[in-house]
Structure 1
Amino acid sequence: MTEQNIKVKKKAMTISLVIGMLMFAGKTSAYLLTGSAAVLSDALESIVHIIATAFAFYSLLISLKPPSRKLPYGYGKVEFFSAGFEGALIIIAAFSIYYYAIMDLIKGPEIDSLDIGALIIAIASLTNLFLGLYLIRSGKKTNSLILIADGKHVLTDSVTSIGAFIALILVLITDIPYFDPIIAIILASQILYTGSHLIKESISGLMNQNDNKILSEIAEAFDKERSENENLIDIHNLRYWKSGEKFYVDFHLTLPFYLTVLNTHKYYQRLEDILKKIFKTDQVEVMIHVDPCKTIACKVCQKHDCVDRKSENVVCKIWDVDKITGKASYNL
């Protein structure tokens, strides 16, 4: 991880935490003035944001630690715990909003100081919109799920603020206070969806789930490379996983048995360069198990001038996702 990336991450999390505290103070004031369930939902979301951001900042500091003897792959996986924790807090906030909104529907909402409350919430909404976009951009730039998750949370907070603002304006215009708890329920549903998505993303990362889109890009790039180089006989058992900024990829590569170690290493470097372009980072560690070709591999080998060919090439299967992640094609 570069020093520049570390500075970007720390700066982004510090800004997020400070603004989160300011937003909470503003929204709490707006709720005390208005008594609005929609504004309360916005304030609760800000509490979650502060707690989640503080935890995310702590997780970020842990993830920056270098690998150790006990943890040779580093501390990067903590970002998935952070995203899951943030998602869980968002879901708790959503159910809290449901509760207060339903109570308002039953008892009848009482809302005051709509104009001042609407102004505070409008300012909070715009602030969170810019903050969320900044965090997501910084997260993509540094390949940090922690920042991306926090950015998505802040954007959710912004949407909640917009909803609260609309609720206050509708009540102000129509003098129908029930708009407030109804919109609060709608906002809670949107918040619940965001929290569930973060937890799903967290579980996928912890379980090393592979993205089929990335696998398709790898398969297409490798198949193109094979068409330009007859020595690439077969690639199979490919898989990858992510820890922090770093990606780990491993697969089996079948090459002509008579190639030297030097030539084999050239193919390793070429395939590694392809993977770095696909993952858009130099933080890619590739582990290749090189298999020397056997007679059975002749049927898939496209090297027609092979000095030891035992049979003709009869199979020319495209290297798609199923192919590169499955068994060796010559064993099928």
Structure 2
Amino acid sequence: MQHQKRIILYALITGAILMVAKFAAYFITDSNFILTDAAESIVNVVASAFAFFSIWFSARPRDINHPYGHGKVEFFSVFLEGALIMVAGIIILIKSVYNIFYPHQVQELLTGAIIIGITGIINGLLGFYMIKQGKKMLSITIEGDGRHLITDAVTSAGLVLGLVLIHFTKILALDSVLSIVVGLFILYTAYKLVRKSVAGLMDEADFSMVDEILKILNENRKEEWIDIHNLRAQRYGNELHIDCHMTLPNYFDLTRVHYEVSKADEYVNKFAHIKTEFFIHADPCIPQCCYYCRMPNCPIRSHEKTMDYVWDMERVAQNNKHFATEPSPVLQALNT
């Protein structure tokens, strides 16, 4: 967690320095295009400040009011960042359209382009680093802040291109046209951030994460684990919470049931890329389970094993653990 705080703090300090540089470039050139980029840099500083707060808050231990911890505050941070980027994009579009009809003279464009180019390179390098670290640490806040910086770097690249073209062609309208293109890109990036944050707040299933968990369970599947169903997953910051039902032989005593459930938890946390908390409800098997049960020398088997299948998202998500009767040949074919 300290590493995450340091990364956000670096981004905050860097953003503040680059914001000053961009406003200096605006005062030198009197370019509205540069002004929009400078205004967006304010968003960077505000977003990084809130990201720093969310990292600190999400690290707080669980309490009575927050039994799952405080990790979801990171989704609020990403939502705020996406919303601020969206506002910046809308302002850029409005200002650019206005400047098409009411252009004004600018000066020292090459000097401004050099300053903005340097800020863009710094933001791009820092953004790629934060995205890489965010994915590594499973921090949506750091990854989101990194994508914001990449957006700012792309904006700066478009700005530099516009300033150079205007300098050599003397066509002032290019400033506004390129601003509109960059503004649309900013809005698209903002949409993706807001969409991702809302998905997390609404506990939308992270299929890639759940598929990884199921792959681990399938690869380490024990003969005693007859079935898994009614699986649901929720993500809280850099932790994943899963509850599911596991069907076990009905002649197991409580100690054996606890052992098998603990092994499933142990395997997942050993091999998964995210800390996972399992809540497993143990179900006793019934005769219908025999058709796909792998237990050898079962003392209560009433049917021969006739089918086998891999646990996938479609199966385990259903609250339906057993076939009511012996499966038909068609059903057997679909499950083998």
Normalised by the length of structure 1, the TM-score is 0.92
1-structure distance, mates of 2:100, 2:251:
79
The DSSP-based 3-state class of the residue aligned with 2:304 is coil
Q: CA deviation at 1:279?
A: 3.6
- For 2:168 and 2:266, the matched residues in 1 are separated by 61
Residue among 38, 58, 66 paired with 1:63: 58
Query: Structure 2 CA distance, aligned partners of 1:108 and 1:71?
Result: 54
What is aligned with 2:331? none
Give CA-to-partner distance per residue, 1:47-104, whole Å, 9 cap, x none: 1111111122122221121111111111111110110011111101111001111111
Match for 2:30: what amino acid?
G
Question: Paired residue for 1:239, among 228, 232, 238?
Answer: 232
Task: Decide whether the 8 Å contact of 2:242 with 2:278 is kept in 1.
Answer: yes
> How far apart are residue 167 of structure 1 and its match?
0.7
Asked if the contact 2:63–2:69 (Cα under 8 Å) also holds between the matched residues in 1, the reply is: yes
Contact 1:299/1:314 (8 A) holds in 2: yes
Identify the residue that residue 165 of structure 2 maps to in structure 1: 170
The reply on whether 1:256 has 2:283 as its aligned counterpart is: no
CA RMSD of aligned residues (A): 1.7
1:154 aligns with 2:138: no
Question: 1:3 — aligned with what?
Answer: none
Please say if 1:317 is aligned against 2:312: no
Residue type at the aligned position of 2:172: P
Shift of 1:109: 3.7
| 2:103 corresponding residue in structure 1 | 108
Matches within 5 A, 1:79-98: 79-98=74-93
Which ranges in structure 1 are unaligned for 5 or more consecutive residues? 1-5
For residues 162-200 of structure 1, the C-alpha deviation after alignment (integer angstroms, 9 at most, x for no partner) is: 111111111122222211111111111111011111100
Please say if residues 235 and 328 of structure 1, whose CA atoms lie closer than 8 Å, have aligned partners that are also in contact: no
AA aligned to 1:312 is E
2:94 maps to amino acid = Y
Do 2:220 and 2:267's aligned partners in 1 also have CA atoms closer than 8 Å?
A: no
Q: 1:303 aligns with which of 268, 290, 295?
A: 295
Report if the CA contact (8 A) 1:41-1:160 is conserved: no
2:217/2:268 contact within 8 Å kept: no
Counterpart Cα distance in 1 of 2:273 and 2:208: 14
- CA distance in 2 between counterparts of 1:18 and 1:230 reads 55
Cα 1:59/1:219, change in 2 over 3 Å: closer
Matches within 5 A, 1:168-207: 168-207=163-202
Cα deviation, residue 331, structure 1: 3.9
Distance of 1:277 and 1:179 partners within structure 2: 55
Aligned counterparts of 1:317 and 1:137: Cα–Cα separation in 2: 36
What is the CA–CA distance in structure 1 between the aligned matches of 2:80 and 2:323, rounded to whole Å? Answer: 44
Range moving further from structure 2, 151-160 or 321-330: 321-330
Paired residue secondary structure (1:330) = coil
Question: Structure 2 vs 1, CA of residues 145 and 31 (structure 1 numbering), >3 Å: closer, same or farther?
Answer: same
The code of the aligned residue for 1:260 comes to: D
The residue that corresponds to 1:117 in the other structure is 112
| Structure 1 position 244, deviation (Å) | 2.0
What does residue range 272-291 of structure 1 map to in structure 2 within 5 Å?
272-277=265-270, 279-281=272-274, 283-291=275-283
Amino acid at match of 2:43: V
Q: Does 1:326 align with 2:305?
A: no
Q: CA deviation at 1:278?
A: 5.4
**CA positional deviation for 1:277:** 4.8
Whichever residue aligns with residue 196 of structure 1, its letter is Y
Using the alignment, how far apart are the partners of 1:217 and 1:147 within structure 2? 22
Pick closer, same or farther for the CA change 1:116–1:142 going to 2, 3 Å: same
Quote the Cα distance in structure 1 between the aligned partners of 2:218 and 2:319.
16
1:33 maps to amino acid: I
| Runs of 4+ with >6 A deviation | none
In the TM superposition, what whole-angstrom CA distance separates every residue of 1:94-151 from its partner, at most 9, and x where no partner exists? 1100111111100124221111101101110111012112222332232211111111
How many pairs were matched up?
324
Residue identity in the other structure for 1:221:
I
Could you tell me which runs of 5 or more consecutive residues in structure 2 were left unpaired when the two chains were aligned: 325-336
Q: Does 1 or 2 have the higher relative contact order (CA < 8 Å, sep 6+)?
A: 1
- CA distance in structure 2 between the aligned counterparts of 1:134 and 1:180, rounded to whole angstroms: 30
Seen in structure 2, the aligned counterparts of structure 1 residues 173 and 148 have a Cα distance that, compared at 3 Å, is: same
Tell me the CA shift for residue 263 of structure 1.
3.0
